[in-house]
Structure 1
Amino acid sequence: MQHLRACLSTYFDDIPDPRVERTKQHLLKDILVITILATIAGAQGWEDIENYGLSKQQWLEEFL
């Protein structure tokens, strides 16, 4: 898991986060990883991505 975490961090660390600081609830790289994984799993929109994140929350917490 450490290797996976390190690899994901290197890919997404340089992406600027345009969001307002006070409204951030989640790290941008966590959102990007969940979106990519959900899309690979067949997500068709934002609701599907949210449902994917919620259904896989325990597993995702291991490396995000």
Structure 2
Amino acid sequence: IGNAAKNFTNINRIAINMLRSDDKKASMVRKRLAAGWDNDYMLKLLKI
């Protein structure tokens, strides 16, 4: 529980960097929404 804020910050940074690394011409908000709606796009971001 003591490191929860730091852990969440690190996970958030990783997620933002994954969105930034995508070459899709869209805003960060649109990329985030697209990743939530489209599992294939999310897997592409995760490189799975």
TM bucket by the smaller chain? 0.3 to 0.5
RCO greater where, 1 or 2, for CA within 8 Å and sep 6 or more? 1
Q: TM-score when scaled to structure 2?
A: 0.43
TM-score of the pair, normalised by structure 1 = 0.38
| Higher share of residues assigned helix | 2
